[in-house]
Amino acid sequence: MEDKIKDLNLLLMFLTGWEEESRKNPGEKIFRAWKGYLFETLNQLADDKMIIQFANNKSVTLTEAGRQKAEQLKKQYLN
């Protein structure tokens, strides 16, 4: 059940997230989402390298692996 919760949280972050220009690397696009999920789940997703968390931000960045996994989950659950 824990893996499904992680998957569904990642999918929700993807579905409600947005793309913006990186502040560190102008011209590079990053995908962000709000941190409105259980900290334990966010920490597990960060450990799995699906997201990057920053201590003083209310949002996370989805990694390329996280975006790819979220796209796969979208097809699995929503198509």
Asked if the structure places residue 78 within a domain, the reply is no
Within a domain: 8: yes
| 70 within domain boundaries | no
Structural domain boundaries enclosing 14: 2-61
Tell me which amino acid residue 14 is: F
The tens place of each residue's pLDDT in the chain, 79 residues long, gives 789 999 999 999 999 999 999 988 999 999 999 999 999 999 999 999 999 998 889 999 999 999 999 999 999 999 8
How many domains are there within the chain? Answer: 1
Is 74 domain-assigned? no
d(CA 37, CA 39): 6
pTM: 0.91
71: in domain: no
Residue 72 lies in a domain: no
- CA of 29: how far to CAs of 15, 39, 51, in Å? 17, 25, 15
| Residue 75 domain-assigned (yes or no) | no
Query: What does the block give as tokens for 68?
Result: 């790819």
